[in-house]
Amino acid sequence: MPRELVEVAPGVLVATSRTMTTTSTVVVHGRDALLVDPAWHPDELAALADEIDTRGLHVVAGIATHAHHDHLLWHPRFGDVPRWASPRTVELVQARRAALQVAVTDGEGSADVGSDPWTSELLDLVGEVRSFPVPPAGLPGEPELVVHDAHAPGHAAVWLGGARVLLAGDMLSDVELPLPFEPDDLPAYLAGLDRLAPYVARARVVVPGHGRPTSDGVARLEADRRYLDALLSGRDPDDPRRALPGMAEAHARVAALADALRR
């Protein structure tokens, strides 16, 4: 069955996984398509390929926003095309390739009884990325990587200036709290929010890696800052995301980081 793609801006289509509200973005120019973080399960990747075929599109490249297993996936039907990432992400993937492949089948979010199995062909494609220090000319959307070290070293948001869309990776989510855990580095996360701020201010749409796209990215960024500022000042933040699955443990970890910085 083809996978639903929702147009969030002209030429920017988003599919959402049944697991952790994970987004896959297809950026279209003419018949060419750029895939950003295609995810998650084998049947979902195949269904995304079906939808791309149904629309008569041809994948010309991919981008991975950071070096976590759910953002490094691919399918043979997308083609043997360049898959780009920040230099630091490429370095991390090369050092952790085997562990990332294991995480795909055994890590967080991998359990899904309705999915097709992970074949060796699919696992071999995990993390096949190359360095993207300067955007290659002619990619759909003319993407710019906005690189920072929040959430993961070398994490890259993707700015599509013509469409005024920011693909935020694992930032600016409505279903996840800020997750400054690789390494445990709250100052780097705050610096990452500062790095994203001017792009968020210009964005017509912000697409998080997990969660719903929004036309009010500024509100998302301000919510993250309020949450972190409260913890850093010793206050208990009133944030509805704390009640969502998995976020109680995440909150405890962030609170411990903030407490350590205050000492």
CA–CA dist 131, 174 (Å, integer): 30
Q: Is residue 131 part of a domain?
A: yes
- pLDDT tier for residue 110 given thresholds of 50, 70 and 90: low
- pLDDT digit string (tens) for 160-199? 999 999 999 999 999 999 999 888 899 999 999 999 999 9
Q: Write out pLDDT tens, residues 37-76.
A: 999 999 999 999 999 999 999 999 999 999 999 999 999 9
- Residue 240, pLDDT > 80, answer yes
- pLDDT tens for each residue of 123-146: 999 999 999 767 678 899 999 999
Average pLDDT of the residues of the chain: 94
**Residue 165 resides in a domain:** yes
Q: Is residue 68 part of a domain?
A: yes
Q: How far is CA 248 from the centre of its chain?
A: 21
Q: How far is the C-alpha of 162 from the C-alpha of 134, rounded, in Å?
A: 18
pLDDT at 136: 75
Taking the C-alpha atoms of residue 74 and residue 100, their distance in angstroms, rounded to an integer, is 13
**Which has more pLDDT, 136 or 14?**
14
Question: Judging by beta carbons within 10 Å of its beta carbon (0-12, 13-18, 19+), is residue 260 exposed, middle or buried?
Answer: exposed
- Please give the average per-residue pLDDT across 206-218, as a whole number: 98
CATH number of the CATH domain containing 17: 3.60.15.10
Residue corresponding to tokens 């120019």: 29
Q: What is the pLDDT of residue 241?
A: 98
How does DSSP assign 204-241, residue by residue?
SEEEESBS--BS-HHHHHHHHHHHHHHHHTT-----GG
The pLDDT, as a whole number, for residue 182 is 81
77, part of any domain: yes
In the chain, the percentage of residues whose pLDDT exceeds 70 is 95
* 1 in any annotated domain: no
Residue 101 lies in a domain: yes
The total number of structural domains that make up the chain:
1
For residue 55, the enclosing domain spans: 6-262
